[in-house]
Amino acid sequence: MTPDPLHARLPASRRAVRGLTRCAIGLGLVASIAAVAPAPLLAHVGDDTPAQAAPTPADAVTLLHEGKATPDQLESLEAVLKAAGKSDPASAEWKLGLALIDRARGKRVEARDALEPLAESDENDARVQLWYGLLCFETVQQAGTLEQATLARAGRDACERAIELDPSLVAARVALVQFYVQAPALFGGSYRKARTHAQGLIDRPEPRTQITGHLQMAFIEGHREDWEAMEAQYALATQLAESRPETERADSLRPVLRARAGALLNQKKDAKAALAVLDQLRPIARADDASVWFLTGEARRTLADRAGAIEAYERALAINPDATNSRWNLAQLLEAQRAFADAATHFDEFAKRFPNDERAGAARDSARRLRESATKNP
């Protein structure tokens, strides 16, 4: 393959491997963009009505596959799947379901390792290939330098296979766009391939999938720093969202505005423009959507508005106390404002809530240091 020009300029060095970590971070967009796509995806992450507990193993797996299982359902679903394992040990279905429960509980490495032999033995199960691929991407950051390349390639191959088996798997195409855009050429990065998968979404008949495709095209153009082309894709996505029936319009428009605000902030580095888009998003945002306030905090912090950023992060945490980056950034800003006791509290809370985060140790150290400072300088 002839690498794309931008990717070809990247050296085949340690920096290239770090590109895989950026790729894994970018895959976090899958969850937010998935809100506009139809099932089967990660998929109805944004559905307003939780599904009821599944009475059969097949229904349990469907709930988990479509993102409809609520945290308080996991234990009962686990019991259903374990019982299925006893009655039919050879079935892949219950194994997939238990892996998805591990993922829902934050045990992504365990879930990936459980699916690896299934992905190898059953190459014709689209859902197994999809989830193994996504979990490979999601766990790249937790791997050592040498393992990152292996995981990224495994994720790519599994998602490509999932699409061969079921072209309607939106999450697989989204993940591959993210991979091909952000991976260096040494590891298979290619704008051409990214565009192919984005176009595959645009060509689907479902309007929500078409919106997702335009958002992916916008992401590609933003990565290329072609701002005019990026805005053209967001305009097409907005037009499609606004053409939806009134009952669906807000649900379709929210992810478009959220993605555009994130692109303006993180790709174009235009915090003022991002705030303007967030002002459009806020009136229609879901009450349980902490991301609006997190992005507001990021934009305010970029503009050196510490007070505004602190308020925004606090609002994000009021909605979702497990908003990892909101808590970390809030603690840092409070320390900068010399509010040492409050900063120590948030660093402590960060370490307690996220013990496996690579920043947990630094959070504990910061909390101890700041408590000492607060005592010396009350």
Name which of 147, 142, 174 is nearest 159 in CA terms.
174
Q: Tokens in use for 164?
A: 């061969």
Q: Give this prediction's pTM.
A: 0.81
- CB–CB of 291/325 below 8 Å? no
Q: Which positions ≥6 away from 159 have C-beta within 8 Å?
A: 129, 130, 133, 134, 137, 172, 173, 175, 176, 179
- Asked whether the beta carbons of 152 and 110 are under 8 A apart, the reply is no
First to last CA, the chain: 63
Phi, psi dihedrals of residue 89, rounded to the nearest 5°:
-60, -30
Beta-carbon contacts of residue 189 (< 8 Å; ≥ 6 apart)? 3, 4, 7, 10, 19, 179, 180, 181, 182, 183
pLDDT per residue, tens digit, the chain (378 aa), is 333 333 333 333 344 444 544 554 444 434 333 333 333 333 332 333 444 444 599 999 999 999 899 889 999 999 999 999 999 998 999 999 999 999 999 899 999 999 999 999 989 999 999 999 999 999 988 888 888 889 999 999 999 999 999 999 999 999 999 999 998 888 789 999 999 999 999 999 999 999 999 999 999 999 999 999 999 999 999 999 999 999 999 999 999 999 999 999 999 999 999 999 999 999 999 999 999 999 999 999 999 999 999 999 999 999 999 999 999 999 999 999 999 999 999 999 999 999 988 899 999 999 999 998 777 666
Q: Is 287-378 assigned to CATH 1.25.40.10?
A: yes
As annotated, the residues of the chain forming the CATH 1.25.40.10 domain(s) are 287-378
Q: Report how far apart, in Å, the C-alpha atoms of 123 and of each of 30, 128, 165, 196, 340 are.
A: 23, 8, 9, 23, 54
* CATH 1.10.8, applies to 1-189: no
